[in-house]
């Protein structure tokens, strides 16, 4: 079960029945319904039965509606406190918001995505991925669209400490590289939705070739996650003005940083030389600063 109950509701959607999904969608749209309504009232609002609501709660790992309701109340309270910290009455961006409002709301969503991702990340899985990278000969990274930026960021970080890593936004090149993986290699697919066909295909090809496969996704029940031996889950919320696309990238980059620092820790002194060498060779391409005249 996710560290945040509202994240658990979103993640559960793909495996819910149609009647349970109506309950989930109502709660995602307005979490305070659970706080304000009895199980009978919530069932009526969702156009379903008491047994469906109870079954929905149990699907998420709760003993019943009472336990689920307490968890939702706690989550709603924590989020309200976060909004207060940013001086927000609500977190959705409106067309008539000022620049200051937009900045505060985007900052709120991005901070929330990082905090919930960090809170919900399985450190045992994280370290298992780190072990595979450190012990492996090569790392492939697959990501397309905004997730491609995250894949390129991790490729650059790993390359800077001397780890063989490949990333291409060309799906044909990604598939060619995936097909050439072998046991001991690691293949990491990054997809917010977990539904990106190109990422899923590349991961499946790499797995068939014998690589250890990893998914970084917001949807642990998705096809991309199913193609992975290890899943690192982000927690970024969809909203208006493509907020999901923005906060998802921030959450992904946070996971990349967690992963990279753990790899660097594990490699110890071996990272110092390649970092220094890559710093020196790129330093030649920096524009020299002009000294101010007295």
pLDDT over 80 (residue 3): no
Q: What is the pLDDT of residues 122-144, one digit of tens each?
A: 999 999 999 999 999 999 999 99
Q: Decide which of 53, 82, 111 is a domain's last residue.
A: 82
Task: State the Cα angle at 172 between 260 and 197, rounded to 5°.
Answer: 75
- The residue from 49, 82, 115 where one domain ends is 82
Whether residue 25 sits in one domain with residue 161: no
For 162-191, what is each residue's pLDDT tens digit? 999 999 999 999 999 999 999 999 999 999
Residues 182, 58 share a domain: no
User: In this structure, what CATH number is given to the domain that contains residue 59?
Assistant: 1.10.10.10
- pLDDT score at 212: 98
Beta strands at 139-143 and 230-233: parallel, antiparallel or unpaired: unpaired
List the CATH number of the domain containing 257.
3.40.50.10490
pLDDT tens, 206-244?
Answer: 999 999 999 999 989 899 999 999 999 998 876 555 544
Do residue 132 and residue 249 come from a single domain?
yes
* Angle of CA points 187, 236, 214, to nearest 5°: 10
Segments forming the whole domain that contains residue 232: 123-280
My answer on whether 51 and 168 are in the same domain is: no
31 and 171 within one domain? no
Same domain, 67 and 157: no
Query: Is pLDDT at 89 greater than 80 in this prediction?
Result: no
Domain assignment of residue 197, yes or no: yes
Per-residue pLDDT tens for 245-280? 678 899 999 999 999 999 999 998 888 888 888 888
Is the same domain home to 190 and 51? Answer: no
263 within a domain of the structure (yes/no): yes
The reply to whether 293 falls in a domain is no
- pLDDT given at position 282: 86
pLDDT at 19: 93
Residues 75 and 128 in one domain: no
Asked, for residue 71, whether it belongs to a domain, the answer is yes
Same domain, 77 and 134: no
Same domain, 150 and 273: yes
Instruction: Indicate whether 179 belongs to any domain.
Output: yes
Over residues 80-103, the mean pLDDT reads: 82
Q: How many domains does the chain have?
A: 2
The pLDDT confidence band at residue 1, using thresholds 50, 70 and 90, is very low
């Amino acid at each position: 079960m996710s560290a945040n109950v509202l994240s658990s509701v979103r993640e559960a959607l793909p495996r819910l029945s149609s009647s349970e999904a109506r309950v989930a969608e109502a709660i995602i749209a307005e979490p305070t319904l659970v706080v304000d309504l009895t199980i009978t009232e919530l069932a009526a609002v969702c156009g379903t039965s008491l047994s469906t609501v109870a079954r929905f709660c149990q699907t998420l790992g709760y003993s019943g509606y009472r336990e689920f309701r307490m968890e939702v109340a706690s989550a709603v309270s924590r989020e309200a406190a976060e909004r207060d910290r940013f001086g927000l009455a609500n977190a959705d961006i409106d067309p008539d918001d000022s620049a200051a409002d937009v900045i505060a709301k985007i900052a709120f969503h991005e901070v929330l995505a990082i905090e919930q991702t960090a809170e919900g990340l399985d450190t045992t899985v994280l370290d298992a991925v780190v072990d595979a990278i450190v012990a492996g000969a090569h790392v492939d990274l697959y990501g397309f669209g905004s997730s491609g930026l995250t894949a390129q960021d991790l490729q650059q970080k790993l390359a800077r400490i001397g780890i063989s890593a490949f990333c291409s936004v060309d799906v044909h090149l990604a598939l060619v590289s995936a097909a050439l993986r072998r046991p001991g290699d690691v293949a990491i697919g990054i997809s917010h939705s977990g539904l990106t066909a190109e990422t899923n295909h590349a991961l499946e090809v790499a797995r068939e070739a014998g690589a250890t496969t990893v998914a970084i996704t917001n949807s642990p029940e998705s096809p991309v996650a199913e193609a992975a031996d290890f899943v690192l889950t982000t927690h970024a919320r969809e909203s208006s003005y493509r907020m999901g696309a923005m906060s998802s990238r921030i959450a992904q980059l946070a996971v990349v940083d967690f992963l990279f620092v753990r790899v660097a820790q594990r490699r110890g002194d071996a990272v110092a030389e390649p970092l220094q060498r890559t710093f020196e060779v790129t330093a030649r391409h920096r524009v020299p600063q002009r000294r101010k005249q007295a």
